[in-house]
Structure 1
Amino acid sequence: MTVDLTAEIESNTDDLLALVERLVGTPTVSGDEKPGQEVVVEYLESMGLEPDVWVPDEADLEGHEGYAPTSVTEEVGFEGRPNVAVRIPGSGDGPTLTVGGHIDVVDVTEDEWTRDPWTLTREGETLYGRGVADMKGGLAAVLFTVKTILESEADLAGDLIVQSTIEEEAGGTGGALAAIERGYLPDAAVIAEPSDIPNITVASAGVMYFEVEVPGVSAHAARGHEGVNAIGNATLVYDALEELDRERKDRTDFEPAYRADPGLEGHETNINIGQIEAGDWPSTLPSRATMYGRVGWPPGESREEVREQIEAAVAGVTGREEWTVDADPTVEWFGWQAAPHRTDSDSEVAQLAKAAAEDVTGETGAFVGGSGGMDERFYKRYYDVPSVSIGPEPRSIHGADEHTTVTSLVETARTYARVIPEYCGTAD
């Protein structure tokens, strides 16, 4: 049966790419996922399935240890942003497997792109478009594989859960976590994040966003000696966080993060100030500067430990000679508040995924991960469900001219066609 499934997938590559084209051509920036979910629902219904489509309720989630309101949710709420899932019952007592991923993508700066980001562009073996790698390509491969399995009349012994969730790019609590809390809890999960097949992702990073309010004293620029420029104070905070970042890099090592990308060695953790707001007039010393940052780190530290380090570094600037205001800078945490996770590479689903991916590609893969935050954490960290990622080659994800290859997408689908029936088992 497995040989027939993989051969069927390879012989119908155009159908897979047609689905990728539809998904890429339907913008789904975090906060506006509904148009893409309508494509997913239509595709599932074309298989004779009746998908569950629901809008998450924050009241059902806010007491969960893994929940944090995302910046997108705080801005637009959940209304009109549905999750989609369907449970395909098995005919025996095999284990339940979840497959799928997130429908949302990050926004684009169109003048940086050399191609239309919302149109799938094929140039030889390369496919360009926002989300083609992260992760509409992988999601399309999941959906196409499930359709191929159903059309083959393969008799799975265990249940198969197929899902498409929202807001992973903003934190994911209204997506994957909401699906689990709705009752879609499997024995293992395979997510379509781009792992660069045949590599299998088994770990994700902790990710937190923070805001630093930096005080100053306003004054006319002509009498600047009577005030304190908050932007100058912000540079002290920036320098302190840069120093902490270097210290953390020196003491942090997580080999899976750089196993497939040696350039990540020494950069497994990172602190970045990505935005700063201050002032409203060139002739005035601003009394306040606001800095927005992100800290990421691999498994090995808790959120509490990382928060304490950030807060101590910020508080420490008040002891410097250059700090000349009575008020102290303050730190607030918002948006992404994800803890890291790591699935045991000896787990059944991890071993099965790696063996299948290596067999399909004819190459040797590795267990990788720990450099970015992902939905897989919800399964392993809070429910002890092993979760891995199998996905295509990721190039310039979140950047201009995001792309992957036809070959890696087809190999991803063929790997799913191996993993799903082998994990769930078949009735015969």
Structure 2
Amino acid sequence: MKEKIIEYIDNNEKWLIDRIIEIVSTNTINTPPTGNENNGQEIIEKIFKNMGLEIDRFSPDDVNGFKDSKVYLKGRDYTNRDNLVGSIGKGEKKTLIFNGHIDTVPSHVFKWTKTEPFDPKLIDGKIYGLGACDMKGGLLSSIFALKTITDLGIPIKGKVIIESVVDEEFGGANGSLACVKKGYTGDFAIIAEPTVMKICASNVSSRAMVIKITGDKGLMYAGTDIEGVNSMLLASKLVCALKDYEEYLNSLKDKYEIYKKIDKPMKFLFSDIKAGEIGPDKIVTTPEECLIRVYMMNYPDVNKDKFTDMMLLFLKNYPDIYKYIKNGSIVFGESYRFIEGGDLDLTLDSNKEFVSSIIKNGKKLANRKLETGAFLGGTDFFAFSNYGNTPVVVFGPGGGNCHAPDEYVNLEDLLDLSMIYAGLIYDYCC
């Protein structure tokens, strides 16, 4: 039967390409607190209907009790932003969930060269376009996998659930958490985020922090003998100290089985810095305030309180910086939510067998030698592992330039991924 899966996908790859072109052409940009996801959900819903799936379309805000739960990220507006869940099967065997977010980051901040964000193109085996890699390609591969099984007439005795969720970008996660809260849990889940075909059985904890540094304004060398604080220079010292903290965290990797084989699992992203104003009518003066935004991470067992406490304890080694933390000149704020980490418990035989099944299907169906690893950024992993009692991995295609111009996804990966997903559906649900 698995030979028929390979044959079907080889003969019908145009369906996958056409659907990805269609969905990438569609604006589903997340613009907190609002978003444009329903544009894409209309397309996905039509596909689900044509496949004969049972469809559940709902707003995260309409899930009973979700808005009052501790994991709900407040301040979002879900008007015309629906989750979409398609399912099929009798539920007599395993339940397998495929999860993907339909929203993308904005495009206007980038200058594209290969094509335009909503004019996807297939060039040399790569599909370029906004959201192609993060993560419309992986989501469509899971749909194509299920379509392969149903079109081949293979009965689904278990249950397959495909979730096209809203509001993952900008630390959202309310979409996936709402699915869990509504009762969509299973024996296993796969998040089709881009992993370069690596099976990620762990996910770091992470947090986007906005750091406000307040100093003194004015010309500190003229007409005064008071030593002032230059917020920009203090910010530069803090950035260097945080880079040292990053190295310290990397030195702890041997405590974690999955992370010890990764060269540098902790890679902070220093995203933005702003101080003062530049212009012909702007005076030269010391900036009173400097803002830094940095995306930081830690190991999956580090909770929100420990995440901050570890950082502050390390910064005590820098008294010329820490004194400004103590007096309130340096304030650490949060941008969106703290994203919890999570692990797949590989001491359990069922979880080991699931990973083994992915590896076996990779070899048999796609002639791929798949490896395990960890996802080194924020995903909705924690929604399943920490709140849904559902073992989960992140496993998706390769590509490049996510959150950057000329984003692309590798077509070969999407096709191989569809085969592997279909093999898993066959093994666990048929």
TM-score scaled by length of structure 2: 0.86
* 2:37 counterpart residue number: 33
After superposition, give the CA deviation of every residue in 1:380-427 in whole Å (9 maximum; x if it has no partner): 122331112332223333333222332221111111111112112x3x
What secondary structure does 1:334 align onto?
strand
Where do 1:78-89 residues align within 5 Å?
78-89=78-89
Given candidates 357, 360, 372, the residue that maps to 2:377 is 372
Q: Secondary structure at the match of 1:373?
A: coil
Cross-structure match for 1:202: 201
Cα distance in 1 for residues equivalent to 2:209 and 2:290: 14
> How far apart are 1:97 and its partner, in Å?
1.4
Correspondence for 1:404 among 382, 406, 409: 409
Offset of 1:257 from its aligned partner? 5.1
Structure 1 distance, partners of 2:416, 2:170, is 28
Counterpart for residue 386 of structure 2: 381
Deviation at 1:295, TM superposition (A): 0.7
The amino acid of 1:169's aligned partner reads E
Q: Distance in 2 between matches of 1:141 and 1:242?
A: 38
Partner of 1:233: 234
Which shows bigger deviation, 184-193 or 388-397? 388-397
**How far off is 1:316 after superposition?**
6.6
Deviates more, 1:199-208 or 1:386-395: 386-395
Amino acid at match of 2:153: E
**1:101 shift after superposition:** 0.9
Q: 1:105 corresponds to which residue?
A: 104
Offset of residue 356 of structure 1: 0.9
Partner of 1:295: 296
After superposition, the Cα gap between the structure-2 partners of 1:324 and 1:273, relative to the gap in structure 1 and judged at 3 Å, is closer
Confirm or deny: 8 A CA contact 2:97 2:188 kept in the other structure: yes
**Identity among equivalent pairs (%):** 24
1:391–1:225 distance in 2 versus 1, CA, 3 Å: same
Change (3 A) 1:258 1:113: farther
2:193–2:395 CA contact under 8 A, matched in 1: yes
Distance across 2 between alignment mates of 1:297 and 1:244: 11
Q: Which residue of 1 aligns with 2:428?
A: 423
> Structure 1: 5+ residue runs without aligned partners?
none
Contact 2:297 2:377 in 1 (8 A): yes
Q: What's the CA shift for 1:6?
A: 3.2
Aligned to 2:267: 270
The structural deviation recorded for 1:161 is 1.2
Q: Deviation digits for residues 100-154 of structure 1, max 9, x if unmatched?
A: 3111222334424332232221223232222222211111111122223223332
Aligned-residue offset at 1:14: 0.6
Structure 2 spans left out of the alignment, 5+ residues: none
Q: How many residue pairs align between the two structures?
A: 413
Q: Is the 8 A contact 1:315 1:328 kept in 2?
A: no
> How many Å separate the matches in 2 of 1:135 and 1:165?
11
Say if 1:270 and 1:297, in contact at 8 Å, map to a contact too: no
- Taking a change above 3 Å as real, the CA distance of residues 211 and 315 of structure 1, as seen in their structure-2 partners, is farther
**What is residue 243 of structure 2 aligned with on the other side?**
242
Per the alignment, do residues 326 and 408 of structure 1 end up closer, same or farther by CA in structure 2, a change over 3 Å counting? closer
Distance 2:322 2:138 in 1: 53
Alpha carbons of structure 1 residues 321 and 55: separation in structure 2 relative to 1, 3 Å: closer
Does the 8 Å CA contact 1:202/1:342 hold for their aligned counterparts? yes
- How far 1:240 moved relative to its partner? 2.5
1:52 corresponding residue in structure 2: 56
Aligned residue identity for 1:164: S
User: CA distance change for structure 1 residues 223 and 157 in 2, over 3 Å: closer, same or farther?
Assistant: farther
Q: Hey, what's the Cα distance between the residues in 1 that align with 2:305 and 2:326?
A: 29
1-structure distance, mates of 2:322, 2:132: 51
CA apart distance, 1:41: 1.1
Matches within 5 A, 1:6-405: 6-30=6-30, 31-57=35-61, 60-61=65-66, 63-69=68-74, 74=75, 77-90=77-90, 93-108=92-107, 109-197=109-197, 199-219=198-218, 223=223, 227-253=228-254, 256=258, 265=263, 267-280=264-277, 281-313=282-314, 319=320, 327-345=328-346, 346=349, 347=351, 348-405=353-410
Tell me if the contact between 1:201 and 1:367 (Cα under 8 Å) persists in the aligned partners. Answer: yes
TM-score (norm 1): 0.86
Equivalent-residue separation in structure 2 for 1:231 and 1:85 (angstroms): 48
Report if aligned partners of 1:66, 1:173 keep a CA contact under 8 Å in 2: no
C-alpha change, 1:245 and 1:62, in structure 2 (3 Å) is farther
How far 1:196 sits from its partner (Å)? 2.5
- 8 Å CA contact retained: 2:215, 2:329: no
